[in-house]
Amino acid sequence: MTWEATRLPGAFGRTTLPRWMASFFLVDAADRTRFQEANEELNGLLNEQALANVPFVVLGNKIDIPTAASEDELRNALGLFSHMTYGRDAKKGDSSVRPVELFMVSVVKRMGYAEAFQWLSNFLK
Ligand SMILES: Nc1nc2c(ncn2[C@@H]2O[C@H](COP(=O)(O)OP(=O)(O)OP(=O)(O)O)[C@@H](O)[C@H]2O)c(=O)[nH]1
């Protein structure tokens, strides 16, 4: 589980935050024992004022493991159904929804994350 990287803003302190362009949150989709912990950590970050307008790419990793959670299961476990997102095909511009999206990936098999970067590129132009 490698969400420590997304905690980096805290290390700078609230008054000296750099401007974040995007946040990546990597969850081990094959480790259901840590889904609750991941849910709390992610929702804490989503509620950070400094990250309010930052696109969140949530990566459900290790989908090459047959017992890994499905996208729906992980979305539900992380509470992502409650966050309105732009959707996979939508573009930047609708300020009423927040860019938070889940992508299922396998880092070792190099699967899935190209789509995530493609989606993110919609918000960095
Ligand atoms: N099967 C599979 N293994 C992976 C994948 N990505 C990383 N791993 C392996 O998972 C192992 C542990 O890595 P992580 O899950 O990132 O764990 P960590 O962040 O170091 O440690 P924790 O925070 O304690 O989970 C390593 O041996 C990685 O090679 C993947 O996509 N599929």
Task: Say how far apart CA 46 and CA 53 lie, in whole Å.
Answer: 10
Provide the CB-side half-sphere exposure for 36 (13 A, CA): 1
Q: Is the pLDDT of residue 18 over 90?
A: no
- Top-confidence residue, 37 or 81: 37
Number of other CB atoms surrounding residue 43 within 10 Å: 14
Q: Is 23 in the pocket of ligand 1 (CB under 6 A)?
A: no
Q: Is the pLDDT of residue 103 over 90?
A: yes
Number of other CB atoms surrounding residue 74 within 10 Å: 22
* Nearest residue by C-alpha to atom 28 in ligand 1: 108
Ligand 1 pocket test, candidate residues 26, 107, 113, most atoms within 8 A of CB: 107
Please, which pLDDT band fits residue 13 given cuts at 50, 70 and 90? very low
Q: Considering only CA atoms, which of 99, 2, 93, 96 is closest in space to residue 46?
A: 99
- Top-confidence residue, 73 or 94: 73
DSSP run (H or E) holding 11: helix 8-12
Q: Is 5 in the pocket of ligand 1 (CB under 6 A)?
A: no
Residue 105 alpha carbon, nearest atom of ligand 1: 31
- Top-confidence residue, 50 or 104: 104
Between the alpha carbon of residue 54 and those of residues 49, 73, 115, the distances in Å are: 10, 24, 18
Mean pLDDT of 121-125: 79
Task: Say how far apart CA 51 and CA 12 lie, in whole Å.
Answer: 14
Q: Is the pLDDT of residue 16 over 50?
A: no
> What integer best gives the mean pLDDT of the chain?
81
* pLDDT value, residue 122: 84
Q: What is the pTM of this model?
A: 0.82
Please, which pLDDT band fits residue 98 given cuts at 50, 70 and 90? confident
Q: How far is the CA of 1 from the centre of ligand 1 (A)?
A: 7
ipTM of the complex: 0.89
Q: Considering only CA atoms, which of 107, 39, 28 is closest in space to residue 67?
A: 28
Q: For domain 24-124, which architecture applies?
A: 3-Layer(aba) Sandwich (3.40)
* pLDDT value, residue 43: 93
